[in-house]
């Protein structure tokens, strides 16, 4: 194991850098630009039981130090992900991939996870109970400890692979929700998903996004993410995957000091498709600068 390697729920990653779901497609698109096997892994496009067209356009609004999106979980559905997307991915990515799963009912989550659990290439199931861009599902499960625990238990009952529950920052007490998921059988926690945001067009006096509100991401939310990762990592005994505004190797180190075992990079992929590769290449320099011999030694190492 090298100085960049970490262990995430029993699976070794060559490095802790993971492109976040919704910003990296199913991977093979980025494989046309560089060898994506340099990544620790990646979390593929949020997948639901049935296909989804997503929200009406416009879906994107620019903001200082970030962006708002309301894509709405557009995806071909779990059956086509298994029959079409994963075979294409297997040709260019030779590591375990993280499957991101969303749903509109507990039964949806269980069904989709059970199907993906049977796929050899899937290493982890990242169960998203925190999407702010859909109605009647997603975030509604992640804002209440009991509801998040119910989803976790249902998924745990039908899967053997590590379950990582992805939590929302749009709550007053993220720690209680994380602990409820841990008690219900989660193997890890990932956070934060996007903050709920909104922009208004001054000329039309209408919301910029057709959905009115959407998920705010980018460098502006990084301090919020670090705080929540720190709080959760100090409250649970399972690994935490940190994300939210990460765009540099220094950001990765800061997230890991706060308690993250691995770090996802989201919005930055949309402005620079090479950002994850560049972060990985830059990590040894930053580690040397701050006297870090190996990344495992700094997890939760904030004084």
Per-residue pLDDT reduced to its tens digit, 55-94: 999 999 999 999 999 998 899 999 999 999 999 999 999 9
- Give the pLDDT confidence score for residue 135 in this predicted structure: 47
pLDDT reading at 292 higher than 80: yes
Angle ∠(286,16,175) on CA atoms, nearest 5? 105
Interval 34-42 mean pLDDT: 98
Interval 265-284 mean pLDDT: 97
Q: What percent of the chain clears pLDDT 70, i.e. is strictly above it? A: 96
Alpha carbon distance 232, 259 (integer Å): 8
Domain map of the chain by residue range?
6-298
Least confident of 6-10, 41-45, 141-145, 237-241: 141-145
Alpha carbon distance 99, 22 (integer Å): 11
Q: Which fold has domain 6-298?
A: TIM Barrel (3.20.20)
What the block records as the tokens of 59 is 């879906």
Helices and strands counted in the chain (H then E): 10, 15
Measured in whole angstroms, the distance separating CA 244 from the mean position of its chain's CA atoms is 9
Q: Which residues contact 4 (CB under 8 A, 6 or more apart)?
A: 14, 15, 16, 280, 283, 284, 294, 295
Is residue 131 annotated as a catalytic residue, yes or no?
A: yes
- Give the pLDDT confidence score for residue 215 in this predicted structure: 94
- Give the pLDDT confidence score for residue 1 in this predicted structure: 64
Catalytic residue among 9, 92, 113, 131: 131
């Amino acid at each position: 194991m090298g100085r960049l390697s970490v262990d995430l729920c029993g699976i070794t990653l060559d490095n802790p850098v993971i492109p976040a779901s919704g910003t990296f497609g199913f991977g093979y698109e980025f494989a046309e630009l560089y060898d994506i096997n340099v990544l620790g892994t990646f979390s593929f496009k949020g997948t639901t039981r049935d296909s989804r067209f997503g929200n009406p356009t416009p879906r994107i609004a620019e903001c200082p130090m970030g962006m708002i999106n309301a894509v709405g979980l557009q995806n071909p559905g779990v059956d086509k992900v298994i029959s079409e997307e994963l075979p294409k991915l297997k040709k260019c990515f030779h590591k375990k991939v993280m499957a991101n799963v969303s749903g509109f009912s507990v039964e949806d989550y269980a069904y989709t996870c059970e199907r993906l659990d049977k796929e050899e290439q899937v290493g982890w199931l990242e169960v998203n109970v925190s999407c702010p861009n859909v109605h009647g599902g997603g975030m509604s499960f992640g804002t209440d400890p009991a509801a998040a625990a119910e989803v976790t238990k249902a998924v745990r009952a039908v899967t053997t692979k590590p379950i990582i529950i992805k939590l929302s920052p749009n709550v007053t007490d993220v720690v209680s929700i994380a602990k409820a998921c841990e008690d219900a059988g989660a193997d890890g926690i990932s956070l934060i998903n996007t903050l709920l945001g909104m922009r208004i067009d001054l000329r039309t006096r209408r919301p910029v996004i057709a959905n009115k509100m959407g998920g705010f991401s980018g460098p502006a939310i990084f301090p919020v993410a670090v705080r929540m990762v720190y709080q959760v990592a100090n409250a649970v005994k399972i690994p935490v995957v940190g994300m939210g505004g990460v765009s540099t190797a220094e950001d990765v180190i800061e997230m890991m000091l706060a308690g993250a075992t691995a770090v996802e990079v989201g919005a930055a992929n949309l402005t620079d498709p090479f950002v994850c590769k560049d972060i990985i290449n830059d990590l040894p320099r930053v580690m040397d600068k701050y006297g870090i011999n190996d990344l495992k030694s700094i997890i939760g190492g904030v004084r």
